[in-house]
Amino acid sequence: MSVTKVAAPPQETTRAVGRSVLGTVFKARESGIALALVVLVVFTATQNSRFLSGQSIRDILLGTSILAVLAVGQAIVVITRNIDLSVGSVLGLAAFAVGSLMRDNPGLPVIVALLAGLALGVVCGLLNGALVRFGQVPALVVTLGTLYAFRGVSYLWAGGQQINADKLPASFLQFGTASVLGVPWLVVIAVVVMVVAGVVLRNYPVGRELYAMGSSPQAARLAGIKVGRNTTIAFAVSGALAGLAGVLFAARFGTVDAAAGTGYELNVVAAAVVGGVAVFGGSGSVWGASLGALLLTVIGSALAVLDINQFWQQAIVGGLILLAIGADRLVAVRVAKALKKRDSHV
């Protein structure tokens, strides 16, 4: 008894010191990306001042907004220790569906387009969720399958059609570029999505449950969390956001065919991973994922502005993903070591 009693006081002090160190390490993840972003922007701007012109910033933000909406959805799914590879195909399907809806009904208000995209996305997401939940099929397999299937459906539907800008109502196209108070609509929507998702994940029980599920599925079940229901919700949200992104895509680019969004899934997963969302669930944030999306977009723009051979772009993105997950791992190992040392009773 005496042994433990004597040992107690120093233990307490070390714990108190550990807290502040830990706090900074935990925030470091997202701030690391932010730092990389700032460095990149500053460097590029010194090479070419036009990089920071109003038009350029607008273009980057517009480009980011679509990817960020998708990345937010992906982050939600990945946090629960799942993955959604079908987002690119859902985006394509929704973009075409909404495009043809608007073409055939030029009078429809934009909000209808947004709702239609969301609804279609929810349906696709629910299908994924149901297969994962009731079929007990791993998310990777399900969404790889629906990646093919949804894309196939949009090809079957669209055939060789392309919906061109001149067929779409002007109000819809304007929505793709117009601004409120100087901020483009697309950016407003992306920010709203990000804030809502971020607040729900951080401040609402259901959000915390998603983290818990990803952190330890068995423990989640024992804690009385409705794992099946929450999984379905996560996929439905990811689907809905992919659908929404489809509408934004159609409005922004004005030209839609069945191939819209092909290969997007890898960019989206990359944005989430680079943004510090752990592939095995349980940690990461939608802010991080959005930052990842912004970083990827800025890299694209910066490489163009710096007049770097565009072929390097993909290679650099790949290298960056490896760097990000590698650094993440090193931080995790450090933290684990620090914690272990602090708590060892030996």
Partner 1 sequence: GTTKDNSGGGTNTGQSNAAADPNAPTKQGVKMAYLPKQLNNPYSDIEVSGGKAALAELKGEYKLVGPNDASASSQVSYINTLIQQQQDVIGIAANDPNAVCPSLNQARSAGIKIVAFDSDAAKDCRDVFINQATTQGIGEGLVKMASDLAGGSGEIAILSATPNATNQNAWIEVAKTTLAKPEYANLKLVKIAYGNDDDQKSFQEAQGLLQSFPNLKVIVAPTTVGIAAAARYVSSSSYKGKIAVTGLGTPNQMRAYVKDGTVKQFALWNPADIGYLAAYAGVALKSGQITGAEGQKFKAGKLGDYTIGANGEIVLGPPTVFDSNNIDKFDF
Partner 2 sequence: MFDKAWHRLASWDAAVIVVTVLVVVIASGAVDNFGTGRNFTFLMLDLLPIALVALPMTFIIVTGEIDLSVASTLGLTSAVMGSMWNTGMSIESIIPLCIVLGGVLGALNGFFVTVLKLPSLAVTIGTLALYRGLAFVVLGDNAVADFPRSYTSWVTGTIGVIPNVLVPLLVLALVFGVVLHATPIGRAVFAAGASEQAARFAGVRTGRLKFWLYVVSGAVAGLAGVLWTLRYSSARADNGFGLELAVVAAVLLGGVSIFGGKGTLPGVLAGVVLLATLQNALRLQDVSNEALNVVTGVLLIVSVLLPNIVTRSRAALRRRRKVTS
Partner 3 sequence: MGRQEPGRGPLLEVRGVSKSFGAVAAVAGVSFPLYAGEAHAVVGENGAGKSTIVKVLAGVHRPDSGTLVLAGEPVEFGSPAEAKAAGIAVIYQEPTLFPDLSVAENIVMGRHPRRGLGMIDRAAIRAEAERLFARLGVRIDPARPARGLSIADQQIVEIAKALGADARVLVMDEPTAALTVVEVERLFAVARALRDEGAAIMFISHRFEEVTELCQRVTIMRDGRHVSTDPLTDVTVDEMVRRMVGRDLDALFPKQDVEPGAVVLEVDGLSREGVFRDISFSVRAGEIVAFAGLVGSGRSEVVQAVFGVDERDAGVVRVNGRKLRPHSARAAMAAGMALVPEDRRQQGLVMDLSIERNVTLPRSRALSKFGLLVGRGERREALDWTQRLRTKYGRLSDAVGTLSGGNQQKVVLAKWLAMAPKVLIVDEPTRGIDVGTKAEVHRLMSALAAEGVAVLMVSSELPEVLGMADRVLVMREGRIVAEIPRARATEDSVMFAAMGQGAVA
Among 131, 227, 244, 289, binds partner 2 (CB under 8 A): 131
Distance CA(294)–CA(305), nearest Å, equals 16
CB within 8 Å of 84: residues ≥ 6 apart: 73, 74, 77, 125, 128, 139, 143, 235, 238, 239, 242, 265
The mark string for 179-218 relative to partner 1 (x by CB under 8 A, - otherwise) is ----------------------------------------
Residues between 221 and 260 that touch partner 2 (CB under 8 A): 258
Is residue 34 classed as helix, strand or coil in its secondary structure? helix
Using the rule CB under 8 A, is 303 a contact of partner 2? Answer: no
């990827």: which residue's tokens?
Answer: 296
Using the rule CB under 8 A, is 205 a contact of partner 3? Answer: yes
> Contact at 8 Å (CB) between 92 and 262?
yes
Whose CA is closest to 135, among 31, 232, 212? Answer: 232
Whose CA is closest to 70, among 200, 186, 217, 218? Answer: 186
- Nearest to partner 1 of 173, 274 (CB atom): 173
Kindly state the number of chain residues that form the binding site for partner 2, as judged by CB under 8 A: 43
* Phi, psi for residue 323 in degrees, rounded to 5: -60, -45
Distance CA(119)–CA(247), nearest Å, equals 11
Which of partner 1, partner 3, partner 2, none sits in contact with 219, Cβ below 5 to 8 A by type? Answer: partner 3
Using the rule CB under 8 A, is 266 a contact of partner 2? Answer: yes
Angle 311-343/264-274 helices, nearest 10 degrees? 40
Distance CA(129)–CA(297), nearest Å, equals 29
CB of 107 to partner 1, least distance (A): 19
> Contact at 8 Å (CB) between 146 and 156?
no
CB of 130 to partner 3, least distance (A): 19
CB of 263 to partner 2, least distance (A): 8
Which of partner 1, partner 2, partner 3, none sits in contact with 122, Cβ below 5 to 8 A by type? Answer: none
- Nearest to partner 2 of 140, 199 (CB atom): 140
């993105």: which residue's tokens?
Answer: 317
Which of partner 3, partner 2, partner 1, none sits in contact with 346, Cβ below 5 to 8 A by type? Answer: partner 3
Residues between 211 and 270 that touch partner 3 (CB under 8 A): 211-212, 214-216, 218-226
> Contact at 8 Å (CB) between 74 and 269?
yes
Distance CA(136)–CA(217), nearest Å, equals 14
CB atoms within 10 A of CB 295: 24
- Nearest to partner 3 of 198, 239 (CB atom): 198
Which of partner 2, partner 1, partner 3, none sits in contact with 322, Cβ below 5 to 8 A by type? Answer: partner 2
Using the rule CB under 8 A, is 46 a contact of partner 1? Answer: no
Which of partner 3, partner 2, partner 1, none sits in contact with 282, Cβ below 5 to 8 A by type? Answer: partner 3
Residues that bind partner 1 (CB under 8 A): 48, 50-51, 53-56, 59, 63, 155, 158-162, 164-166, 173, 176-177, 249, 253-255, 257-260, 300-301, 304-305, 307, 310
Residues that bind partner 3 (CB under 8 A): 1-5, 11-12, 15-16, 18-19, 22-23, 26, 199, 203-205, 208-209, 211-212, 214-216, 218-226, 278, 282-283, 335-336, 339-341, 343-346
